Structure 1
């Protein structure tokens, strides 16, 4: 997609800037938009008119006069995001359950769903169609689905998309591009589940454009719903550096491996807990403490080297703040004292149940509000073109 020197691209890029400001502010007058975005008033008027025609924004109520600006005294009206323009689906698709969130185009929640199932009950493609169809029914009538983000465990290349390795769904080298294009009427983005959790934090709660943090995603599954012989505890990491998700050279960044894990057999593993301990971890605080010690001790060196702003603990260790604090102060006192001097914070989230689903939707929404980078991901460019078709195609 040629971007340089493309006037239609520039119009849409300015539209993205304006939409993002409206999303963050809740609404603003044309004068405020021109001042805050550094655009000419005539440019803002042109963009707003196009967005109004496309239905992406609405005229709001009158706003108080801006004392810093001279004018005729006529009260300005605000411009606001049209939340009914479209919906986005975020799906957290695990081996034994799914969690989904439907959001409007400003990221506000429309619906949330959670359902368990048996891993071997259907193929991955059949499962994806069934679940997305079920979730799509939660979208209010008259609001189109603009796109869907799907979070799954394992190594994912969003470009194809290609599921390079996913033991929980028994996938390896699975190219899904043609299947998704032929099956769904809206673009579908596939991404690693821990990365989606990082997307949620980055999009909704980031400290700034250059934010850097790590999101720790432990999952405790019911063994009877998993493929035979597979571990019931999975660990993922979402890495954000300089305001962007870090995927690594082969999309394997964030694939956790404990310092204390010893390889044995062909069953995948990440931690040193025995299968029996993993099955009891959700019920036994002593085993949970052992797991937290192992996770944090492994991550200490990594965080020393990379110096993120924070480590967010979510997944099935969310709300376990007292346990994590005791481990840091008692089991890892010396290591934590040294690390905390570098400014790193550890934050245990109170509620992270829908973080992966919410982040999967945020990854799609980000393509609407962000200007595509020259040389950036073609997957982002495809979704961006689809979401902004009405605006870009205006003459």
Structure 2
């Protein structure tokens, strides 16, 4: 179904524009929507009526309840006060799934991005094939969603190199996958669209959607993960490090989608087992229990990243994952171990923010990546995966 360049595309594009305004504003009258978006009142009336029919929005109270609508008055002689249009939170649910080798974390939102359900469970991924694990986890999460809310889509965060277009997991050592083409499996198994993305990129999506200061924000999201060695493929490191890179409001994937694949300045490759940091396997297995080893890891990570941030000049470095509770440690490392390097970087305005509650960031960001396709107008020549999700979510509006 071709959308670009025809009236159906324009209707749905205007619908996305209007929905995004309602999401950001929390609701508005038709007059305010027309005024703020620069759309003709007749166009707003048509779109709102279609959205009401589809159930994507509902009427709620009067426009006068919103200070920004205080200038709204009923049309002369109508005798009616302006009603507010708000997004319908029960229209449908979006699943965000963080699928790791030894656990999963899922967060389900409504179409406004508000949390409905969150789930966390540990397992031994190697006990089942990847597709079987994938199917059983999503089925388990679906069972927790209220029955009156259909699933509109799912975003799945996976460590490693992921191409969402295929989707293809090009390389994921924690699930022992290489070149895994999943498009046919997803189409055969799920009735809703599924978007797959790198887990650190999903954390960046979460920050963009919920915490970003402006639409042109630039930042780095550091995602260290400490895994249980006995639940990983034999010989693979139990510490993984990913980076989500955002420049001018856009996630940067790199030429071959490997941007953000961390590699320490101090790592020395040996053999065929992948690695990223200079800690020994024994140290990695003890990092969650040994404060001295954690400090050694933090020094290595930050010493490498400070050089990178001098070159790329982001606004901030966000630290999440399994170091999100280590604010005091990171502050001490910057002030004591890396003072000279950090002072030079801080003078350029870069900030380091340790996220105290980042446990579900990858899952929340995976859901946000799906929601973004509902609230963004697809670009001509953009990703076909985005267009498929967009068509699915807005099918009641454009048909």
TM, length-normalised to structure 1 = 0.97
SS at the partner of 1:165? Answer: strand
Task: Give secondary structure in 2 for the equivalent of 1:169.
Answer: coil
Query: SS of the counterpart of 1:375?
Result: coil
Please tell me whether the aligned partners of residues 231 and 278 of structure 1 are also in contact (alpha carbons under 8 angstroms).
yes
Matched, 1:373 2:368: no
Matched with 1:14 is 14
- Judge conservation of contact 1:3–1:374 (CA < 8 Å) in 2: no
Are 1:64 and 2:64 matched, yes or no?
Answer: yes
Aligned to 1:241: 247
Structure 1 position 285 matched with structure 2 position 291 = yes
Unaligned 5+ residue runs, structure 2? Answer: none
Residue 32 (structure 2) aligns with: 32
Q: Which moved more, 1:43-52 or 1:221-230?
A: 221-230
1:168 match: secondary structure: coil
Aligned counterpart, 1:385: 391
Deviations along 1:275-311, whole A, 9 cap, x unmatched? 1111111111111111011001101111111111111
What CA distance in whole angstroms lies between the structure 2 residues aligned with 1:285 and 1:17?
A: 49
The residue matched to 2:11 in structure 1 has which SS? helix
Question: Structure 2 residue aligned with 1:77, among 74, 83, 89?
Answer: 83
Conserved? CA contact 1:97–1:114, under 8 Å: yes
Match of residue 296 from structure 1? 302
Q: What's the offset of the Cα at 1:267?
A: 1.0
Aligned equivalent of 2:361: 355
Separation (CA, whole Å) in 2 of partners of 1:120 and 1:161 = 22
Report the counterpart of residue 55 of structure 2 in structure 1: 55
Q: Which residue of 1 aligns with 2:150?
A: 144
Separation of aligned partners in 1, 2:271 and 2:24:
51
- Displacement of 1:119 in angstroms is 2.7
2:140 to 134, 140, 157: 134
The answer for the alignment partner of 2:193 in structure 1 is 187
The whole-number CA distance in structure 1 between the counterparts of 2:247 and 2:212 is 12
Residue 275 in structure 1 maps to residue 281 in structure 2? yes
- Choose the corresponding residue for 1:210, options 216, 236, 243: 216
Root mean square deviation of aligned Cα:
1.2
Give CA-to-partner distance per residue, 1:193-227, whole Å, 9 cap, x none.
Answer: 00000000011111111111110000001112111
2:366 counterpart SS class? helix
Counterpart of 1:226 (choices 232, 238, 242) is 232
Q: How does 1:43-122 map to 2 (within 5 A)?
A: 43-64=43-64, 66-68=69-71, 71-72=75-76, 74-122=80-128
Q: Which runs of 5+ in 1 are unaligned?
A: none
Per the alignment, in what secondary structure is the counterpart of residue 170 of structure 2? Answer: strand
| TM-aligned CA deviation for residue 24 of structure 1 | 1.3
Measure the CA separation in 2 of the matches of 1:255 and 1:67: 50
Contact 1:292 1:324 in 2 (8 A): yes
CA–CA distance in 1 between the matches of 2:70 and 2:219? 40
Alignment partners' CA distance in 1, 2:62 and 2:89: 19
CA contact (8 A) 2:228 2:238 kept: yes
TM superposition shift of 1:68 = 3.9
Once residues 216 and 63 of structure 2 are traced to their aligned partners in structure 1, the CA distance between those partners, rounded to angstroms, is 33
CA distance in 1, matches of 2:70, 2:98: 48
Aligned-pair distance for 1:69?
5.1
Native 8 Å contact 1:364 1:383 kept in 2: yes
Aligned residues: 393
